[in-house]
Amino acid sequence: MNVVVCVKQIPDPADPGALDPNTKTLKRDGKLILDESDSYGVEMALQLVDAAGGGEVTLVSMAPNGETAGLRTALAMGAAKAVLVSDDALQGSDALGTSKVLAKAIERAGQADLILTATESSDGYTGTVPEQIAELLSLPSVTFAKSITVDGSSVKVQRQTESGYDDVECPLPAVVSVTAGVVEPRYPSFKGIMAAKSKPVDQVGLGDLGVDAGSVGWAGAGQEIVEIATAEARAASTVVEDDGEAFQKIVDMLAELKIV
Ligand SMILES: Cc1cc2nc3c(=O)[nH]c(=O)nc-3n(C[C@H](O)[C@H](O)[C@H](O)COP(=O)(O)OP(=O)(O)OC[C@H]3O[C@@H](n4cnc5c(N)ncnc54)[C@H](O)[C@@H]3O)c2cc1C
């Protein structure tokens, strides 16, 4: 079974950089890392291929400056190869522009039985890319998967809901977005890290994918970011001095907040 996993490479959340006041987008000129949200999709794909007894996991990513650091992490986990789309004309791409590019990259990756994504990325989090990819590829889409089982030519998904989960089944190939916690992502081993250095990364531009530059980037963006603002600082916390009765004060405080 061949599984394609979309993996976004994002600025390190521990050092996220800054917003560009002119374009109102996140500066992405530093090193990018594998979005933790996507490590669940990679792990799920590796487990499904193992369970099927054959096949491989291919990664697909769109990122500036030929960035491969995040891809190498996912290759070290066990993915076989990657397609990276990097092109100056992609700057300013909105979610639909990104989806158009990823859909073409998925086709380039070869015949996939299943396409996995995260539910939403950690930096953009529109949560719209997976469904747009499915529409562009004319494939069924299942969202919020907390468990995935492949059964012959169909996929069975437990789809997370507010009150529990729905059992959903659909034919393959399909696009499935997974929730965080669907599986426990493995840590890349030293052997995996060394092997990842020589795994193939097919770096392509818009011309290679047959994507019209006018339909993506700033030129093709249908979304506009009208305003950006700094997030409010957290309100000061309450310090409870322990005079021997601190537990009671904390319980009272939690009761007042209707937490207990
Ligand atoms: C007007 C405008 C201009 C923008 N300009 C830029 C820009 O110049 N540079 C820039 O980087 N961003 C830019 N953005 C942000 C960019 O459009 C989004 O980050 C991108 O479309 C993906 O959306 P998301 O992160 O909300 O995806 P979501 O829908 O939240 O992502 C869901 C899942 O889809 C997959 N996915 C999403 N994006 C990628 C990716 N790139 N590669 C592989 N898998 C992916 C991942 O599995 C992810 O978890 C711009 C946005 C707007 C509105």
Q: What is the pLDDT of residues 181-204, one digit of tens each?
A: 889 999 999 999 999 999 999 999
User: Is the predicted pLDDT of residue 20 greater than 90, yes or no?
Assistant: no
Which amino acid residue places its CA nearest to atom 6 of ligand 1? Answer: 92
Domain with 32 in it: 3-228
Q: Is the CB of 61 under 6 A from ligand 1?
A: yes
If one counts the domains in the chain, the total is 1
Q: Is residue 103 part of a domain?
A: yes
Give the pairing type, strands 81-85 and 57-62.
parallel
Distance, in Å, from the CA atom of 166 to the CA atom of 188, rounded to the nearest integer, reads 33
Q: How far is the CA of 69 from the centre of ligand 1 (A)?
A: 17
Indicate whether residue 86 lines ligand 1 (CB < 6 A).
Answer: no
Task: Determine the distance separating the centroid of ligand 1 and the alpha carbon of 60, expressed in angstroms.
Answer: 13
Element (H, E) at 8: none
Is the distance from the beta carbon of residue 89 to the nearest atom of ligand 1 less than 6 Å?
no
Distance 94 CA to ligand 1 centre (A): 7
Ligand 1 pocket, 6 CB below 6 A? yes
Residue 245 lies in a domain: no
Asked if the structure places residue 257 within a domain, the reply is: no
C-alpha of residue 239 to centroid of ligand 1, in Å: 40
- Name the packing angle between helices 95-108 and 129-136 (round to 10°): 50
- Tell me, yes or no, whether 244 lies in a domain: no
* Residue at 67 is within a domain: yes
The answer to whether position 239 is within a domain reads no
169: in domain:
yes
CATH number at residue 23: 3.40.50.620
pLDDT tens track for 98-135: 999 999 999 999 999 999 999 999 998 999 999 999 99
Q: Give the Cα separation of 228 and 23 in Å (integer).
A: 10
Supply the pTM of this predicted model. Answer: 0.90
Q: Is 163 within the bounds of a domain?
A: yes
